[in-house]
Structure 1
Amino acid sequence: MTGNTTDKETLFCDYYTQWVDVYKEGAIRDVTMKKYKLTEAWLSKLIPDLRLADMDRVNYQKLINGYAEYHERQTTMDFHHQLKGAILDAVDEGLIQRDPTRKAIIKGRPPREKKTKYLNQFELHAVLADLDLGTKPSWDWLILLVAKTGLRFSEALGLTPADFDFVHQTLSVSKTWDYKNGGGFVPTKNASSVRKVQLDWQLIMQLSALLKDLPENEPIFVNGKVYNSTANNVLARHCEHAEVPVISIHGLRHTHASLLLFAGVSIASVSKRLGHASMNTTQDTYLHVIRELENKDVDIVMRALSTLI
């Protein structure tokens, strides 16, 4: 790079590592940074000795092909996009003669069979009926709460009794629990994730009894080290017992959103309730539901028009 000893003889792996450190460190979220670090690891495995001067279209395509042998096409596409930013900078600096990513063919393994992401209303009812809701907070209580609010797992873990306003039937989401890194309260995923979620009266009655003697500012569902897999295993057992498709805790969030959309709730309202950064995120995530609703709308429009004669 400009102002250092980088030249055409520099290994591409080293250039990419330095590029990530200079341009990405501190500018992106930790979860995104981990993806760049994974890309670094794959470069060291696939092209450890390739120089910047040798990064042409053929060698770039070989790199993409090598990565695609182990990954699905969409994952390979993400790998390609992560490399492209660094490569275009190297082209601008004259370290690579021409853009080797131009017209690259993105391959990949056939996608795995998609797991069921959400349940329908009857399946969800069967799962909730199987819960054992005792007098103390438990994974079963967390499952009920996520099913009825659409909260992210980390948001549910970050809840304290003080976050509940039983008079106005609302729940304030203002923080999450950093269960992946040893615990502790951390900010929400984005600014839009800070929100108030309306609760139904039945859940309010249940929670007011559950929380009445708990410390106001301590997490309700955290007791020592917390693992997402533990909660998923508990939910899986309930799904199997209720004889419905097995979904994850995050799948409960999808279920919540899908049921609201099918009930006629607007995309804008669902987006706000889920704490999405924009309605585009909601539309992209629930495109399958939206398309199904559009097909129903066509039938409604045709029936309405047929009565005009």
Structure 2
Amino acid sequence: MLSADIIAQILWTSLATSSYAVLFALAFALVLKVNRVFNFAQAAMMTVSFYAAHATVALAGLPSWLGFLAALAGSLAIALLIEVLGFRTLRRRRAAQMFVFIFTLIISELVAYIAMLVFGTWPATIFPSLFWPVTLVGGIAVSAWDLPAVGAMLLAVAALFGFLRFARMGQFMVAVSDNPDLAELYGIAKERVFLFAMVISALLVALAMFLYGTRAQVQPTTSIELMLFAIAATIIGGIGNLWGAAITALLLGVVQNASVLFIPSEWQGFLLYVFLFLAIVFFPNGIRLPQRSRRLTRKTPTPTLDASPTSDPQKV
């Protein structure tokens, strides 16, 4: 029988271990919302950021803060290459979405194979040990990894949504995500916005991968599995809905952690593909809440490309 302590422990562990999953989902959902690309190459960014930190801390013996900076540099470098040499070129040539999709898959697999050749296939970590001191707080086991991970995730989420709401570039990103052609008519350089979205995604990926690599073992193909989790959260949460992706990633993490009470732990990976199957087949447009009554719904005119140029650009 489940006790209150067991339920509380599952909820806390799920919150802590979902910290990196939330960041992965936000990174994927942001590029999909702004750049309108299913960025499966995010797995390549994750792989490069982890092994950059692993080489700095575990192999070179340098401090952890240098490892985190290396993860940021690696993730940013591969993100810029993907956007400038990949996505931008494909947009210029008006390539079909299928070719963009294939390109992202090839990049992820290519980086994974390079990581295998350089670092091998054995599981690796950033720190030599994955054991963290544990403190009992009201009957709940809280490790020294949990609080920094949750705090970093909450700080990153708050910074992202604050940036999108108040920063000028953040408002431009929202405008481009709504209507890139109309935004460009108002003087917003959409190519620059696309690049900035990839940069923010790279920062989220580096932070998430550093957190994951200090708690679990990583192989060159681990990033692909983590990315699939982010894809499931993005689809179920609603494409273009960043809050939905973050909350869904957290809820899926609770379900996955609670599953050990009913199924063996080795079946947790199977749940990932169950999530993906349900998302694609039953929730291709995300989970939608019941709509309000039509009497309470206020109709808003849909903006068109011939909108008056006297409108305030900040409202685009």
- Shorter-chain-normalised TM-score: which range? under 0.3
Task: Answer 1 or 2: which has greater helix percent.
Answer: 2
Larger Rg over CA atoms: 1
TM-score when scaled to structure 1? 0.23
